[in-house]
Amino acid sequence: MKNFDIVVAIDSQGGVGFQGSIPWKVKGDMAFFKRLTTLSEEGKKNGVIMGRKTWDSLPASYKPLPDRVNLVLTRSATLDLPEGVCSFSSLDDGVTFSENHTIDRLFVIGGSEIYREAIQSQWCRCLYVTYIEGQYNCDTFFPEIPDRFHLMSESKKICESDITYSFRVYNSVID
Ligand SMILES: NC(=O)c1ccc[n+]([C@@H]2O[C@H](COP(=O)([O-])OP(=O)(O)OC[C@H]3O[C@@H](n4cnc5c(N)ncnc54)[C@H](OP(=O)(O)O)[C@@H]3O)[C@@H](O)[C@H]2O)c1
């Protein structure tokens, strides 16, 4: 099976969302997300797997996320998606599809429900966590990070407007 990485921004309580959107706007993180998930080997695209609610939350102008293969997880057989966007009824099906098509790197990009399942998967190799200092009003959360993930690096703190954040990378230590 194909390995994948998780990309997430969390607050100090692990919050990721509120009422279907992200409760902060950090341009530096958005640029990081775009660069990380888009840059791929020549001739290939990366894949981004997301839950249906995260798909719904994307602004129309970013739907589908450009220059990436968008994969949406849903248990509904009738979800209407634009051409080129694929839906899958399980995480494993999405990962298997990515293995069989010319997809370079594969990223799980949320939301909470999908993170919970993905972080337990043996195919999850790396977590890119943008750590936003402070506590926001959130109703959806990132799961506790399992012990098999070790913090490998953390950027210096970055201040943008009144928000302080840093980029953390965790790697799975189990092959
Ligand atoms: N901070 C961040 O980095 C970040 C990133 C992404 C999202 N978010 C936020 O997270 C929130 C959304 O998270 P959420 O947990 O409510 O929803 P979600 O994980 O985006 O989507 C949940 C939906 O995905 C489908 N699904 C879940 N598990 C599945 C499985 N195993 N197989 C097939 N389909 C599956 C179901 O869709 P159906 O109901 O259609 O069956 C389910 O209702 C929003 O507030 C969003 O803004 C934050």
Contacts of 119 (CB under 8 A, 6+ apart): 6, 127, 143, 145, 146
- pLDDT exceeds cutoff 70 at 66: yes
State pTM to two decimals: 0.97
- pLDDT exceeds cutoff 90 at 67: yes
**Mean pLDDT, to the nearest integer, of 135-147?**
97
CB 149, CB 173: distance < 8 Å: yes
Give the pLDDT confidence of 90-107 residue by residue, as tens digits.
999 999 999 878 899 999
Which residue in 5, 174, 30, 175 sits closest to 98, CA to CA? 5
- pLDDT exceeds cutoff 70 at 175: no
- pLDDT exceeds cutoff 80 at 174: no
Q: Tell me the helix, strand and coil percentages in the chain, rounded to 5.
A: 20, 35, 40
Q: Where are the domains of the chain?
A: 4-13+21-172
Check pocket membership of 132 for ligand 1, CB cut-off 6 A: no
Fold for 4-13+21-172, please state it: Dihydrofolate Reductase, subunit A (3.40.430)
Ligand 1 centroid – CA 109 distance (Å): 9
What the block records as the tokens of 45 is 């695209």
Check pocket membership of 57 for ligand 1, CB cut-off 6 A: yes
**Mean pLDDT, to the nearest integer, of 6-23?**
97
CB 9, CB 17: distance < 8 Å: no
For 76-96, letters b (16+ CB in 10 Å) and e give eeeeeeeeebbbbeebeebbe
